[in-house]
Amino acid sequence: MKEKWWHDKVAYQIYPKSFKDSNGDGIGDIRGIIEKLDYLQELGIDLLWLSPIYCSPLADQGYDISDYYNIDPRFGTLEDLDELIAEGKKRNIGIVMDLVVNHCSDEHEWFKKAIEDPDGPYGKFFYIEDYKKGDKLPCNWRSYFGGSCWEPLPGHEDKLYLHVFHKKQPDLNWENPLLRKEIYKMINWWLDRGIAGFRIDAIINIKKKLPFCDYPADRADGLSSIENMLKEATGIGEFLNEMADECFRKHDSFTVGEVFNEKDSDLPLFIGEDGYFSTMFDFSTTFIDETGISTVEPVKDLQEKYKKASFKAHKRVDGIGLLSNIIENHDEPRGVSRYIPKEDLSDKSKKMLAGVYFMMPGVPFIYQGQEIGMENLSEVKSLSELDDCANPDLYRRAIEDGLTEEEALKLISLRSRDNARTPFQWSGDVNAGFSDAEPWLMLNPKYKDINLEKQHDDPESVFSFYKKLIKLRKDKEYERTVVYGDFEPYEEEKKNLLCFKRILDKRILVAANYQREPQVLELDEKVKAVLISNNAELAEKVTEAGTRILLQGYDYLVAELGEE
């Protein structure tokens, strides 16, 4: 694998609206991020991905962009962003923007002009269609947020526009070369401004299977999941390669794609030596709790499913490229609440989960608050307590699937994206130290117990453990092995034991007992030194134990193997 400048980086995702409010309006902003750059530098962050801060009506929290060239006043100004880029560079932190180009906002100038003249040049920037005979929709695709993908075009009773997400997010027509030219111009404008690269949103959706046609209905609403169409859509590579040539490769920028359902044979094209993207997120573990029907029952064999999914993902890309590793983001519930049984949730198990994904091959991404072990919200009593535009469809589907209202709300509590979007818990003070005003979204009531101030100077805290993990990744003695070393699962068949080796100029063992019951790990070589562990007693015993290690519940360790 040809070495790239970003291979050894640690990335951090900020959801700006909930990170730090600098002006007392209850909304996080760019100046709040600038205030906390020293904190991020102390943590060891190299790349900072910002969820959208462009001008937006915020129908989908900024993923509905009305002006790609300007900053929403709620977050600040272009001058603020320039200062953030400059201050980041002083600390060797590169700024990564969110690139949202499957769709824009219905308040974007392009869509306004399309409404004025659907048959004109801007009408061709979108998918605008007539009804089929008998007032039928062009096709029966279901939006990701529920309901039809088609919405009447304002002012035109005979026409509809396509939106695979929210109705205020009309899809852009990538088949139109003039539209693509405008997008590439915008991308290069931002790269020339000094950002390090982009996280690329929902990009797999830009290629539609045309002409529009129905698919077998998969729910009682008579509609079909958009994913059924995407499986048959071909030719996206032409768009992605063109975008890489016109923008990313010229700037040697860092790009991470939000990609789903890619074929094994396409992996070299996506993240290979000269792929469309630098890397793409490993979402493998986010599917282990998906069911065909709504349920609040715990996932059976959670630990084994997590192991098998993550190991399989990294075996798939072995020798091809690197994935970007996550346990949560702004679109998922909190990882510790999702992947650790509720009765086992503790600082120790949180550290174990962090340690496992951090030592996998790839670029580790930390989502804000993850480094202090932020958890899901408590069970909500009403949808009105939350904000996410996806909640109503999640609730409606739960009721359709036979859950009671109480169970449906419990499901929302488990799955809602709002779990990850509550304000960062800086302290146990008023509003968790996030703002002097009432925050735009409810605080997690656990903030008095889980906050940065409480953990910052505690060497045994979750925060301190993340610092140690980052320090280990950057340790010159082990860095090359952690970044480029072979990935070899070890004792893979042993239930709830998550163990693998990283091998290059060093031989490193990563072992986690992913259960509350103790179990024995038999090694085929001796431990030379324990590099990090969430159990101080274990660290002392391992080097004396020869090749037989007793792991207590949720024990985790990284060790160098070999003779003294």
* 32 CA to centre of own chain: 22
**3-class state of residue 22 by DSSP:** coil
Crossing angle of helices 405-415 and 391-400, in 10° steps, is 140
Other Cβ atoms closer than 10 A to 406: 11
Choice among 201, 347, 371, 375 that is catalytic? 201
| Residue of 436, 441, 333, 429 lying closest to 387 (CA atoms) | 441
What gap in Å lies between CA 441 and CA 388, rounded to an integer? 10
Q: How far apart are the first and last CA of the chain?
A: 31
Cα R_g (the chain), whole angstroms? 24
Catalytic (active site) residue 258: yes
Determine the Cα–Cα distance for residues 482 and 472; give it in Å rounded to an integer. 9
Torsion-angle region of 426 (φ positive above 0: left; ψ -120 to 50: alpha; else: beta): alpha
Round to whole Å and give the CA distance between 225 and 200.
Answer: 22
CB 207 within 8 A of CB 99: no
Report yes or no: 443 and 422 within 8 Å, Cβ to Cβ.
yes
Is residue 201 flagged as an active site residue? yes
Q: If DSSP codes are grouped into helix, strand and coil, which group holds residue 401?
A: coil
How far apart, in whole angstroms, are the C-alpha atoms of residue 451 and residue 432? 8
Q: Which of 258, 332, 387, 388 is catalytic?
A: 258
List the catalytic residues: 201, 258
